Amino acid sequence: MSDKPSYLDFDKPAYSWKPDIDYRKHPELYKVGKGEQGVLICEPYKSEIGQHWRFKDVAVAKQSSEQIYILFEGYLEKDDFVGADMARKYLQMGYTRARRYANYKGGKKYNKDNHYQQLERGTGETEKAASAAIFYKKWKAAEANIHYATMKKAWKKERG
């Protein structure tokens, strides 16, 4: 198994999410996927949610995660599964990206100048770990939401 990051061999044409699709107008084209897939592509949700996504420090992470969770609840109220799933993905990404910065200085995991050798872990910022914990709680609260979980199960069964 290669230590090389998977994004180097990314197969863009085979990727399920496309930037030229309005997923609010065409929700039937949306796939749940794994983890955070599609989060930086699916419009109009990327623009609606992404503008609130920040994890610089604890105060910023708290405000950001709360605003994204409010959007998550709003999408659920409208039975907009795609919006709710995208908000959930942004909460998850807040956790994973903050953890990356907590684990690695500057958030850089690989040294591209040295054959993508993995850099030393434990060199990151301590405050980012606290930011990650804030996002983690909101992400897990979103996943535990009964309305969301029911919609997600049905969506995956019907559409993938």
> What is the rounded average pLDDT of the residues 72-84?
98
- What pLDDT sits at residue 13? 73
The pTM for the full model equals 0.86
d(CA 66, CA 75): 14
Q: What share of the chain has pLDDT > 90, as a percent? A: 65
Confidence class for position 154, pLDDT limits 50, 70, 90 = very high
CB neighbour list of residue 98: distance below 8 Å, 6 or more residues apart: 55, 61, 128, 129, 131, 132, 135
How far is the C-alpha of 59 from the C-alpha of 47, rounded, in Å? 22
pLDDT tens digits for range 29-46? 999 988 898 899 999 999
